[in-house]
Amino acid sequence: MGEQDWLTKDFYKVLGVDKGADKKTITKAYRKLARAYHPDQNPGDAAAEAKFKEIGEAYAILSNDEDRKRYDAIRAMGGGGARFAAGSSGGFEDLFGAFNARATGYGGGGARFQTGGADLDDLLSGLFGGGGAQGSGAQFGAGAFGAHGGQGRGPQSRPQPTKGGNRKANLAISFRQAIEGATLSIKVAGKTIKVRIPAGIKDGQKIRLAGHGKPGAHGGPAGDLEVSVAVKPHPVFSREGDDVVVTVPVSFAEAALGAKVDVAMLDGSTRSVRIPAGSDADTAIRLKGKGCALKKGPGDLLVRVRIDVPTDLTREQKRAVEGLAEALGPVSRESWLEAAKE
Mean pLDDT of the residues in the chain? 78
Give the span between the Cα atoms of 261 and 250, in whole angstroms.
Answer: 8
Least confident range of 145-149, 253-257, 293-297: 145-149
Task: Report the C-alpha dihedral over residues 189, 193, 196, 197, rounded to 10 degrees.
Answer: 40
Give the span between the Cα atoms of 139 and 242, in whole angstroms.
Answer: 76
Residue 130 has pLDDT above 50, yes or no: no
Tell me the CATH number at 315. 2.60.260.20
Give the span between the Cα atoms of 84 and 94, in whole angstroms.
Answer: 8
In this structure, the answer to whether residues 221 and 261 fall within a common structural domain is no
Q: How far is CA 170 from CA 34, 238, 271, in A?
A: 26, 22, 36
In this structure, the answer to whether residues 252 and 330 fall within a common structural domain is yes
Given this model, what pLDDT does residue 101 score?
39
Identify the band that residue 136 occupies on the pLDDT scale cut at 50, 70 and 90.
Answer: very low
Domain range holding 256?
237-334
Identify the band that residue 141 occupies on the pLDDT scale cut at 50, 70 and 90.
Answer: very low
Inside any domain, residue 222? yes
Given this model, what pLDDT does residue 153 score?
46
Number of domains in the chain: 3
Choose among 125, 118, 120, 123: nearest CA to 110.
Answer: 120
Identify the band that residue 156 occupies on the pLDDT scale cut at 50, 70 and 90.
Answer: low
Q: Which of 231, 254, 274 is the last residue of a domain?
A: 231
Given this model, what pLDDT does residue 122 score?
45
Inside any domain, residue 11? yes
In this structure, the answer to whether residues 189 and 251 fall within a common structural domain is no
Residue 196 has pLDDT above 90, yes or no: yes
Tell which wins on pLDDT, 278 or 296.
278
Inside any domain, residue 151? no
For residue 51, the SS3 value is helix
In this structure, the answer to whether residues 212 and 290 fall within a common structural domain is no
Q: How far is CA 192 from CA 36, 185, 213, 307, in A?
A: 23, 6, 13, 48
For residue 187, the SS3 value is strand
Tell which wins on pLDDT, 38 or 117.
38
Inside any domain, residue 55? yes
Decide if 62 contacts 9 (C-beta within 8 A): no
Give the span between the Cα atoms of 324 and 67, in whole angstroms.
Answer: 94
Q: Which of 194, 214, 231 is the last residue of a domain?
A: 231
- Residue range 295-337, pLDDT digits in tens: 788 889 999 999 888 888 899 988 988 888 888 888 788 887 8
Residue 223 has pLDDT above 60, yes or no: yes
Given this model, what pLDDT does residue 245 score?
94
Inside any domain, residue 147? no
Residue 267 has pLDDT above 60, yes or no: yes
In this structure, the answer to whether residues 262 and 317 fall within a common structural domain is yes
- Residue range 46-97, pLDDT digits in tens: 888 889 999 998 898 999 999 899 889 888 876 544 444 444 344 434 444 4
In this structure, the answer to whether residues 16 and 53 fall within a common structural domain is yes
Give the span between the Cα atoms of 82 and 90, in whole angstroms.
Answer: 15
In this structure, the answer to whether residues 199 and 288 fall within a common structural domain is no
Identify the band that residue 140 occupies on the pLDDT scale cut at 50, 70 and 90.
Answer: very low
Q: Which of 231, 252, 271 is the last residue of a domain?
A: 231
